Structure 1
Amino acid sequence: MKYAHSKRDPLTKKILPKEQWHGLDPHWEGTANLAGKFAGCFKCEILGEILGYVHDYGKNLLDFQRRLEGSKRKVDHKTMGTLAVYQHYPHPYGLILAYAIYGHHGGLPDHISRGGHSGLYDVLSKNKFKIIDNIPPIFPELMEHEIPKRVPTINRGMSRSLWIRMLYSALVDADYLDTERFLRPEKAAARQSFMPLEQLSVLYQKKLDKLLSSSSDSVMARARRRVLQSCLRKALGPKGFYVLRAPTGSGKTYSSLAFALEHARHHNTIENCVRRVIVALPFTSLIEQTVGVYQDALGKDNLNTVLEYHSNIVIEPGNEDELDPRLLDSENFDAGLIVTTNVQLFESLFASKPSRARKLHRLANSVIILDEAQALPEHLLLPTLAVLRSLVADYGVTVLFCTATQPAFQDSWLDGMQPIEIIEEPGQLYSELKRVNTTFVGRKTNLELTELIISNGNRVLCIVNTRKQAQHLYSLLTKSKQIQKLDVYHLSALMTAENRIEMLQEIKSKAKEDPCYVIATTIVEAGVDIDFPVVMREMTGIESIAQAAGRCNREGLLEKGTLFLFESADYPSSPYMWYSGRAKLAKFILSRHVDPLTPEAVEEYFQRFYFQEKSQLDKHGVLRNLNGAADEYSFQFREIAEQYQFIKEDTVSVVIPHNAACRELLQQANASRFPASFNRKLQRYTISLYSQELEYLRKKERLGIIRGVIYYLKDSEGGFEGNITDLYIDRLGLKVYVEEEG
């Protein structure tokens, strides 16, 4: 009798008798059944079954069985299964399966050895498979004609590498789940607690009926009904790419989900069913608001309607030991409606590590809503669009680009697939909903900005490009004798999410006639539901200007709101800052269009922008490298994962213990064996600091750290339980750029 896993007493940690261990044969069979089911969602069931049966063949090794009994000797159990499939099955299937098995614990390998990592090519060429103790592996018959060919594409490397990733994902998730059923049956029993799409659709219909039957006859109400009705009609179309291009405030959040649920209902067949809806947003600050909107629509009393997933903190296996129970907590997108970030979604599609890639197979037959699609980073635009095209072509996915300023994607970037416009005349809709007049007022100092803010009524929102300027402008405005200090608000990423939410609630609670002056960074531009008659915006790209305009006269209560565009005299943009080139181009568009936010102006802006940046749209060569390796299936998975990063690690997260709840979490983290496991709970109390901001805290000797994994702002006594208001106050955030409160 051979075993896959031993079992320990949860209290004493002693190894239990072998009668309670997980047999190897049952583990193979359980994993094969699950992996076959998962891969069957993209018509590769037999490949999933093979992976499940062969992945742990090396656990037959006597050394591995001794390890289960308590031996400390490390054992490589993955190579035997890797060699078995590679030598048994024809090319390319043997190589495809070998990638998945060799990487099922440590991560998808590079094909060629580089940088100290062992490449799969060396493993396959230097070793020969040998049967262990007369125990042959189970080799299900592979009928090549039953496996669908990839849809022809100019990006064959993307198509083939994604195929490997999807199979790898099916294996990893199946392996984890079958292991979990044995090690933690109570957790396995609690799975699948989220509502399926069919039930969510029934609940959402109540909200739709209310929206469609609204008696309001305002311009905004009519427009929102039109957008919603257009989404419901176009949802009856085929799977593929769609674009919802509508001005901010026109109800895209409700309407896009209505499209997805109706699309799922329309394609509710065994062969073509939609299994889940995934909403991806550019910023974590948008997650909570979007989830709140959905939960309100689905009924707050209904539990487990939305899976909220946006933590970048995951636990990775450090070696061949898969028995760490923390691994079993990795998310796998097993829900009907998921709200996540672009970072989580897309970096997972290029990840090599198992905990990141585990969820990928669940993207098959889904609807992916890309909210604020204009926020896709240009330096990764070509590989991002190529992977979306592969999902649509080979995995039954529908992608909805949802935006007020649709980027001008070229036909070749989606390999000939044309997105279907949901709003047939977006220009007409924009004209009907035009709520703002835009004026460029030139270069202004902060003192001049303060005067301009005060002279334009008692409700003004001013958005600047940097948090340094935001803090100084806020401080200057609070010193003005013409307005009350408590009527001035500051919103930036130097405040914790908890504080920003509190400030936003206070801002929203003010009556329309109450004085309210808000100094903010771009953090208020996407999805923050606030409404001001006057908005001032430092020059930036057209896409950000449109977002700022969306906070101006949002409900259409005025004939026209006022949007002032200005350049900063005190804080001129460095030519190397990412927004400088966008601002320069936007200023050029302003010289050619009276209204820079018309669909024509936006299209010209993006066409010129992409032409200027064409050499940067695959800046790190991700797509080029994949396509160059397509013929030999010689993919450098680890390298690609390092190259495909939305945001380079140029900031450090620091916890701000500004209330009792945060201090309690820090105490628990400090006492825990696994303090990193508290990162998700601490996220709402965390700010990200650049190197110069971090150095400011170091010089003041106020930067603490818990066992090398959690940075926090120390109090004046060097702990995290005392007063920190000398450096952090709720209305301003971390006082990095101003020494005293306004």
Structure 2
Amino acid sequence: MKYLGHTKDGKCFTGEENSQELITHLKNVSNYAEKFAMSFDAGEMGALLGLVHDLGKYQINFQDRIRGRSKVKVDHATLGAKVLAESWKEMGWLHGMVVAGHHTGLKDSGCGSNMGDNTYSSRINNYQGQDTEYSNEINIPSDFKPKMINCDNETMSFAFATYFKMLFSCLVDADWTDTEEYITDISRDSLPYTIQELDKKLISGIPANNGSFINNIRAEILKDCQEASQREQGLFTLTVPTGGGKTLSSLSFALQHALKHNLKRIIYVIPYTSIIEQNADVIANILGKEFVLEHHSQVDETKGILGEDDIEEDIKKRIKWASENWDIPIILTTNVQFFESFFSNKPSKARKLHNIAESVVIFDEAQMLPRELLSPSMYAISELVTNYKVTAILCSATQPAISQYKYEKLKISEIIGNPGELAKKLKRVEYEVIGKKSDEDILEMFAENRKTLCIVNSRKHAYALYKLVSEDERFKNIYHLSTLMHCTNRREVLKKVKERLEKNDDVILIATSLVEAGVDIDFPVVMRSIAGIDNIIQAGGRANREGKLKKGRVLVFEPTSDAGKIPKVIQSMASLTKEVIAVLGEEAFEMKGVTMYFENLYHASSSDNILDSKNILDEFEIKGNSYRFNFETVAKKYKIIEDNTENIIINLSKESKELTEELRQHIFKRVSTRKLQQYSVSIYKNEYQKLLEENALEVLDSGFNILNNNQYYKGETGLDIFTDNNKNAECSII
């Protein structure tokens, strides 16, 4: 009998000649998984998992189903896990978690009294599949050599959990890749490139030093980074004040470090999509767009893959194939995408993880790592450095005191020789604390300072201030920025603002915190609503950025309007800032103040267990022969953005209309979903529900939401969600 693994169109049976033999699929997946896992010295194990992952397809009832003789669903993933468990006891059982979950996701391991119906243990123990003759085609090796993992008693449980997650990533990517290549007849070849070629492009593309004071300092920072790139792999900090050119300097470090240590790619992990937009443009213009992937969660291209019974199978598959596996040299992504993928149990999100191995990972604005999840986040970074040939760089102008939350034995090294002295050299602003201000007070301050950037704490306050200023005839050239505007729209606004500033025109820009990090803009005056000291200093980096003035001004105020109410998520940081200012005065915004702020912030947080508020690290535990790996529980717990949000495609441009038409026709392409990220806005569930009730949205059967009423989107302020009854709007801080 010829055993089949896939039909040509993934659905209908049109004869054995149009079907992939199962043994061919298993060998192909084994080869891919071996290749992927070799990046962390687990190639032999990857090959084995690929070989056994679909052993259940040898069951006669599966062969009947694939030939169209039966419609009964067949569990074809559990048999491979059971074979491993029976062959190699505990270690085989543990590796079987990877095989059993390669379609539906990694489950909680389940053992002892915690063995629920939906656990891996329950699945193995209750498996009642048919007998098969897989041994006629598949030879299971007699010995079992798992990877040696570098860990100690403190880190062992987390290290093994990460190891299984990485193998899971290799298997999923291998399985999906072979299936896609067979069905489409298109080979998913990697982009040809060498790190050496990219480094040469960067060297020739870095702007020449014009001899100015600022550029001379940037040249010193670049030199420090290039020299440090020759050090051994590990965990680094890069403490550079805003305006120090750390984007290109850190990229130069990364490329030359990758050259020295034969690494494959550079990954930028950034808090906001707005920073990604600018950094991606800068890097792509130098290295070439084909080498740079801008990947974040504004469009969820895997939406609806699992658990959505009302979505047709072929649509699910096409969306699944559009998911990213990060097989590209330069990746720019967000904290949300990076860490939630790392802690996810879903195949679609975990697929990319193995490509983090053998990389330089740059965490830009490291002070914005999620505080409530800081301990598990730092464990993730530490484990990647320890066992996956990753060099990690924590970049910040206000380096947080996070060293105690990494692996204790992992050393950390600063790239810049004297960060304190560098901060003094690059100080270009004076900070003034101006107390409580109403929106009307702020309006009058704009009248006195006609070139001002005002950064507030919520989208609601930015919207209210913009409306107030727009109605005042004294002002011209008023602009607004928030994440209610899609990426392309925001780029257009920033371009106009820069043009106004270059012409020395009056210009008022009212924005949320999305502009205070990574956005290259230069105002003489910046007003900042009270927040964390790190936020205020980052905002100060938008004042006198190029050092053309003797000193720029940063005015720190406390808003009194209802719209300006400080969101709950930052109230504790704002209060702590006030305390540091009361103690240190002007020094609050220097290195001394930053150190005091973060030490107090993390001390208070750790005493209240806020740094692992969900007790995520407790979900992984090894005690003797007892194992707890609660992958599904952790995936549900680790959420950087707690409120459920929905992504809305703003369908107003010629390009977006062409792309959304592809979605309507069930055409899902990676290149298209990447482009759609530029036309998407994320909103809260209650805001989304309101748009649904007002028939403003077209919801496709694939799960994508398209704005179909242009009255709800204005180029000046973005998606209009604000009403008197909107309770969640004030929580939307960017």
| TM-score between both structures, scaled by the size of structure 2 | 0.90
Structure 1's unaligned 5+ residue stretches are: 268-272, 716-722
Distance in 1 between the 2:15 and 2:243 partners? 63
Q: CA deviation at 1:131?
A: 5.5
**In structure 1, what is the equivalent of residue 78 of structure 2?**
79
Q: Which moved more, 1:242-251 or 1:470-479?
A: 470-479
**In structure 2, what is the equivalent of residue 641 of structure 1?**
635
1:705/1:193 Cα in 2 relative to 1: closer, same or farther (>3 Å)? same
**Aligned pair count?**
709
Asked whether 1:493 is paired with 2:483, we answer yes
DSSP-derived class of the 2:454 partner: strand
Letter in 1 for 2:370: P
Letter in 1 for 2:618: R
2:455 to 455, 458, 463: 463
Distance in 2 between the 1:699 and 1:317 partners? 26
**In structure 1, what is the equivalent of residue 108 of structure 2?**
110
Q: CA deviation at 1:276?
A: 1.5
The 5 Å alignment of 1:502-513 reads 502-510=492-500, 511-513=502-504
**In structure 2, what is the equivalent of residue 170 of structure 1?**
170
**In structure 1, what is the equivalent of residue 730 of structure 2?**
none
Q: Which moved more, 1:706-715 or 1:280-289?
A: 706-715
1:342/1:448 Cα in 2 relative to 1: closer, same or farther (>3 Å)? same
Q: CA deviation at 1:45?
A: 2.1
Letter in 2 for 1:171: L
CA RMSD of aligned residues (A): 2.9
Asked whether 1:314 is paired with 2:313, we answer no
1:331 to 319, 324, 327: 324
1:648/1:104 Cα in 2 relative to 1: closer, same or farther (>3 Å)? same
Letter in 1 for 2:367: Q
1:374/1:2 Cα in 2 relative to 1: closer, same or farther (>3 Å)? farther
Q: Tell me the alpha carbon deviations over residues 372-416 of structure 1, each in whole angstroms, 9 at most, x when there is no partner.
A: 111111111100101111111111111011111111014353323
Distance in 1 between the 2:124 and 2:693 partners? 53
Asked whether 1:294 is paired with 2:287, we answer no
The 5 Å alignment of 1:648-663 reads 648-663=642-657
Asked whether 1:482 is paired with 2:474, we answer yes
1:662/1:602 Cα in 2 relative to 1: closer, same or farther (>3 Å)? same
Distance in 2 between the 1:358 and 1:425 partners? 40
DSSP-derived class of the 2:510 partner: strand
1:528 to 507, 519, 527: 519
DSSP-derived class of the 2:452 partner: strand
Q: Is the 8 A contact 1:6 1:16 kept in 2?
A: no
The 5 Å alignment of 1:403-418 reads 403-418=396-411
1:167/1:706 Cα in 2 relative to 1: closer, same or farther (>3 Å)? closer
Q: Tell me the alpha carbon deviations over residues 2-61 of structure 1, each in whole angstroms, 9 at most, x when there is no partner.
A: 334343469xx8533313421222222222222122222222222112112211111111
The 5 Å alignment of 1:54-93 reads 54-70=52-68, 71-91=70-90, 93=91
1:696/1:127 Cα in 2 relative to 1: closer, same or farther (>3 Å)? closer
**In structure 2, what is the equivalent of residue 581 of structure 1?**
572
**In structure 1, what is the equivalent of residue 17 of structure 2?**
19
Asked whether 1:683 is paired with 2:677, we answer yes
Q: Is the 8 A contact 2:697 2:708 kept in 1?
A: yes
1:21/1:707 Cα in 2 relative to 1: closer, same or farther (>3 Å)? closer
1:701/1:632 Cα in 2 relative to 1: closer, same or farther (>3 Å)? same
DSSP-derived class of the 2:223 partner: helix
Asked whether 1:236 is paired with 2:230, we answer yes
Distance in 1 between the 2:653 and 2:259 partners? 46
Q: Tell me the alpha carbon deviations over residues 251-278 of structure 1, each in whole angstroms, 9 at most, x when there is no partner.
A: 10001110111111111xxxxx312111
The 5 Å alignment of 1:593-742 reads 593=584, 594-614=586-606, 615-627=609-621, 632-672=626-666, 681-690=675-684, 693-694=687-688, 697=691, 702-707=696-701, 709-715=703-709, 724=711, 727-737=712-722
Letter in 2 for 1:556: G
Letter in 2 for 1:118: N
**In structure 2, what is the equivalent of residue 436 of structure 1?**
429
Letter in 1 for 2:271: P
1:462/1:422 Cα in 2 relative to 1: closer, same or farther (>3 Å)? same
The 5 Å alignment of 1:85-234 reads 85-91=84-90, 93-112=91-110, 118-127=118-127, 132-133=132-133, 135=135, 137-142=138-143, 144=145, 147-152=147-152, 154-186=154-186, 188=187, 190-193=188-191, 195-208=193-206, 211=208, 214=209, 216-234=210-228
Q: Is the 8 A contact 1:54 1:138 kept in 2?
A: no
Q: CA deviation at 1:626?
A: 1.5
Letter in 1 for 2:97: Y
Letter in 1 for 2:616: V
Distance in 1 between the 2:669 and 2:441 partners? 48
**In structure 2, what is the equivalent of residue 39 of structure 1?**
37
1:9/1:55 Cα in 2 relative to 1: closer, same or farther (>3 Å)? closer
**In structure 2, what is the equivalent of residue 718 of structure 1?**
none
**In structure 1, what is the equivalent of residue 338 of structure 2?**
345
Letter in 1 for 2:402: F
Letter in 1 for 2:301: I
Q: CA deviation at 1:707?
A: 4.3
1:287/1:115 Cα in 2 relative to 1: closer, same or farther (>3 Å)? farther
Distance in 1 between the 2:331 and 2:263 partners? 14
1:385 to 370, 378, 382: 378
1:418/1:96 Cα in 2 relative to 1: closer, same or farther (>3 Å)? same
1:354/1:448 Cα in 2 relative to 1: closer, same or farther (>3 Å)? same
Q: Is the 8 A contact 2:268 2:333 kept in 1?
A: yes
Q: Is the 8 A contact 1:669 1:678 kept in 2?
A: no
Letter in 1 for 2:143: L
Q: Which moved more, 1:152-161 or 1:109-118?
A: 109-118
Q: CA deviation at 1:63?
A: 1.0
Q: Which moved more, 1:465-474 or 1:400-409?
A: 465-474
Distance in 1 between the 2:549 and 2:363 partners? 31
Structure 2's unaligned 5+ residue stretches are: 725-734
Letter in 2 for 1:650: N
Distance in 2 between the 1:19 and 1:84 partners? 30
**In structure 1, what is the equivalent of residue 267 of structure 2?**
278
**In structure 2, what is the equivalent of residue 517 of structure 1?**
508
Q: CA deviation at 1:117?
A: 5.5
